[in-house]
Amino acid sequence: MEDPRIIAERITANVEKVIIGKDAEVRMTLIALLCHGHVLIEDVPGVGKTVLARSIAVSTGCTFRRIQFTPDLLPSDVTGVSIYNQKTGDFEYRPGPIVAQVVLADEINRATPKTQSSLLESMEERQVTVDGVTHKMPEPFMVLATQNPIEYEGTFPLPEAQLDRFLLRIHLGYPTMTDEVLIMEGQQRQHPIDSLARVTDPDEIMSMQRAVKDIYVDPLIKQYIVSITDATRKHGSAYLGASPRGSLALYRTCQARALLDGRDFVVPDDVKELAYATLGHRIIVAPSARVKNVTPKEIVEQCLDRIPVPGSRARGSSNVGSGQPAPRQG
């Protein structure tokens, strides 16, 4: 396999031909893809949520499907249905739009809870069951769900159990004025995504996914991750802290970030950089703190300030805290 960092840079550069000025967000989405994870994109309309999903799919050579969630959308509209074939006398499965490698679940909070839950099995177990028959999802597989945080009328907020299924939550935000001018110039004659080319393929993405699991994580880094997650549970402003799935998400995304940086080991900066994206949406702010406008981001930042960073000594080494790998024993 080619150097993962070179592949990642190629994908990021390709996507940024369309999504201008959002290097960190594109990188986060790529991290989620390498971790077999799913992304919740929460932002106002028109900032490029849909285009980001399409650009990732085109750049990686993955199949792409879009599901527009509405109040009248049925679970079978997502998973697919079994149709009776008169010629063969058998029921044939007609896959729904969820059966693709990159799936955009647009405005997911507009669908009813029953339809929202139809995503759970495919997201967590990577399969769909229709009429008692299980169908595997293609690999790689990632769901990018979007929701609009400013329109609450006619919406069904995602329950905590479903929010927990998302590896990361990101916010694109408005572009800078300079970037917005570049966006207008880039779309003067046609949309840049129409000429976007594939720069890698699904097999290479799956090779990178396997490589992520080989990234070394020192025991002190693991303890650091667990300490941060535990601190969110004990924080005075948190009604409910991050779950063990949050610890696993932070652990795996740190490995992916290290891989994209060309390292074969995780450093504390990886943990700090990814803590809010992986834990923020798993924290429920207590009602008394919500009145004071306390946010999950503030809770995570306070937990990071309170938990000491792994010291200079790990596995007999004095260079772990400095960004250098600890010598492996044995």
Which pLDDT tens digit goes with each residue over 218-261?
999 999 999 999 999 999 999 999 999 999 999 999 999 999 99
Which pLDDT tens digit goes with each residue over 70-83?
889 998 899 988 88
Q: What is the mean pLDDT of residues 283-312?
A: 90
| Planar angle of CA 165, 171, 175, nearest 5 degrees | 160
Nearest to 213 by CA among 167, 169, 259: 259
Give the amino acid at 296. Answer: P
Reading the block at residue 83, the tokens are 């149709």
Pick 313 or 232 by higher pLDDT: 232
What are 142's strand-pairing partners? 102
What are residue 319's phi and psi, to 5 degrees? -125, 10
Reading the block at residue 227, the tokens are 């300490």
- Write the CATH number of the domain with boundaries 213-306: 1.10.8.80
Beta-carbon count within 10 A of 148 CB: 17
Is the four-CA dihedral 25, 68, 147, 134 of positive or negative sign?
Answer: negative
- In this prediction, residue 152 carries a pLDDT of 59
Instruction: Report how far residue 234's alpha carbon sits from residue 204's, in angstroms, rounded to the nearest whole number.
Output: 41
Q: 235 and 303 in contact (C-beta within 8 Å)?
A: yes
Nearest to 256 by CA among 127, 171, 141, 168: 168
Q: 285 and 295 in contact (C-beta within 8 Å)?
A: yes
- In this prediction, residue 310 carries a pLDDT of 85
Is the four-CA dihedral 244, 248, 251, 254 of positive or negative sign?
Answer: negative
Instruction: Report how far residue 118's alpha carbon sits from residue 98's, in angstroms, rounded to the nearest whole number.
Output: 10
| pLDDT surpasses 90 at 314 | no
What are 65's strand-pairing partners? 103
Which pLDDT tens digit goes with each residue over 167-200?
999 988 888 899 889 888 888 888 888 888 899 9
What are 323's strand-pairing partners? none
Instruction: Report how far residue 266's alpha carbon sits from residue 67's, in angstroms, rounded to the nearest whole number.
Output: 36
- In this prediction, residue 320 carries a pLDDT of 42
Give the amino acid at 263. Answer: R
What are 71's strand-pairing partners? none
Domain boundary assignment for the chain: 4-72+99-208, 213-306
- Write the CATH number of the domain with boundaries 4-72+99-208: 3.40.50.300
pTM: 0.86
C-alpha distances in Å from residue 316, one per residue of 216, 307, 311:
16, 22, 11
Which pLDDT tens digit goes with each residue over 88-112?
888 888 898 999 999 999 988 888 8
Q: 242 and 192 in contact (C-beta within 8 Å)?
A: no
Nearest to 100 by CA among 70, 49, 144, 50: 144
